[in-house]
Amino acid sequence: MRIGVYSDSLPKLSRRELLAWCAERGVKDIELGVGAWGPWPRPHLDIATVGDAKERDTLRGELKEFGIRLAAVNAAGNLLHPDAAKRADAQKRFRAAVDLAKAFGVKRVITMSGCPAGPGGGSLSVFPCWATSSDDERIFDWQMSEVVGPYWRETSHWLAKEAPEIMVCLELHPGVTVFSAAGFGALTPYVGRNIGLNMDPSHFWWQGIDPVTVVEEYGDRIGYAHGKDTLLYPDRIRRQGVLHFSPPSDPSKAPWHFVSVGEGHDDATWTALIKALQKAGYDDVVSIEHEDPRYDGEEGTRRSLEGLQRALKPLGAKG
C-alpha cells in the first residue's frame, strides 16, 4: 500500500510546486484533477491544453524530474447534469481524463455516477436519497433505468473498445445517484468490470455506514482509494441529524465535516480499513484528498499524510 496525493488538495501550489512538495515528503504517487468539480482556475492541468503533445511532454518531464508516478486522473463532476452545457463540459473533461490516462499508461480514472433530473425534467439534479412517499419512491429506479444505467452501459462498452486497460472508479458520493453499495449493486447489471469503485470512507461514515462493509461486499471491484476522514459531532447530530441544507464547511456549526485522516476516526480504525482493503485484493495507492475546513491545503494534507503513515505502520508498510 502506498500513499498518494490528489492534486486538488493543494490548489495554491503550481504543478511543479505540487510535485516538489510531494517529493520532499517521500510521496511518489499523484492523482491529477481535470474535472468540472474542483478549484478554479485549475492550477495543475488545463483542459484546453491537456491533449496537446507539447504539454504532455512537459508533464512527463516534470514527473520524471521529481520521481513521481501518475497514479490516476480525476474527472470529478456531474456527467449527467440536467443543464446541457454543464453536462457537456463534465463529459468532455471525463473523456479528456480517459485520453490522458491512456496516453500515460495510467489504469485508473476517477469520477462520479452523475445525477440527472427526475422524470419531469428540469435544470436541477434530483438526488434520490429517499423513498418515503408516493411521489418519491420511483425516482431512483427511473434515473437508473432511463439515464444512469444506459449512460454507463454505453461508457463501459466504449472503454472496452478504446481504453481496455482502464477502469473508471466511481466515488459513492451523496448528491449523485449512485452513493451507496446498494446503488452500485443496482448499476452492476448495466456495466462490465471496467466500471468499479473508488473507496472514500469519509462519504460512508457520516451516513452511518461502516466502510469495511462496503469493502467486504464489493472489494473485488475497488480500483482506487482516497484518504479522507469525517468528524461527527454527536450533540449536534442529536439536534440536527446528518442531513442538512448547508455545506459542511463551518466547523463551529456543522453536525459533521470532512477532516484529515486520523482526526475523525482513530488510527486503529484506519488500520482495520486498510487491512480489509488488502484482504479484498486492493494493495495500491491511498490518495489523500484534503477537504478539512479547519486547515489550508498544505496543513491538512500534511496531517493526512502523518495519519496514513501511522495507520500503515502496524501493517509493516512504509507508505
Residue 53: what are its φ and ψ, rounded to 5°? -60, -40
- pLDDT score of 151 more than 90: yes
Q: Across-strand partners of 3?
A: 286
- pLDDT score of 319 more than 70: no
Mean pLDDT calculated for residue range 255-277:
98
Helix (H) or strand (E) holding 167: strand 167-171
Which tens digit of pLDDT belongs to each residue from 274-300?
999 999 999 999 999 999 999 999 999
Angstrom distance (rounded) from CA 10 to CA 39: 9
Residue 31: what are its φ and ψ, rounded to 5°? -115, 120
What sections of the chain are H helices per DSSP?
A: 15-24, 53-66, 84-104, 139-143, 149-162, 181-187, 202-205, 211-218, 234-240, 267-280, 297-312
Q: What is the pLDDT of residue 229?
A: 98
Q: Which of 35-49, 94-108, 288-302 is predicted least confidently?
A: 35-49
Q: What is the pLDDT of residue 238?
A: 96
- pLDDT score of 220 more than 80: yes
Q: What angle do CA 313, 318, 319 make, to 5 degrees?
A: 100
Q: How confident is the model at residue 48 (pLDDT cuts 50, 70, 90)?
A: confident
Q: What is the pLDDT of residue 158?
A: 98
**Which residue from 137, 93, 133, 98 is spatially nearest to 114, judged by alpha carbons?**
93
Q: Give me the chain's average pLDDT, please.
A: 95
Mean pLDDT calculated for residue range 101-122:
96
Q: What is the pLDDT of residue 41?
A: 87
**Which residue from 55, 96, 56 is spatially nearest to 75, judged by alpha carbons?**
96
- pLDDT score of 135 more than 90: no
Residue 286: what are its φ and ψ, rounded to 5°? -110, 110
Task: Check: CB of residue 187 under 8 Å from CB of residue 149.
Answer: yes
- pLDDT score of 265 more than 90: yes
Q: How confident is the model at residue 37 (pLDDT cuts 50, 70, 90)?
A: very high
Q: What is the pLDDT of residue 317?
A: 63
- pLDDT score of 132 more than 80: no
Domains of the chain are 2-315 (3.20.20.150)
- pLDDT score of 131 more than 80: no
- pLDDT score of 224 more than 70: yes
**Which residue from 297, 318, 128 is spatially nearest to 228, judged by alpha carbons?**
297
Positive/negative CA dihedral, 88, 89, 94, 99 = positive
- pLDDT score of 5 more than 70: yes
Place of cell 454507463: 152
Q: Which amino acid does the sequence have at 36?
A: A
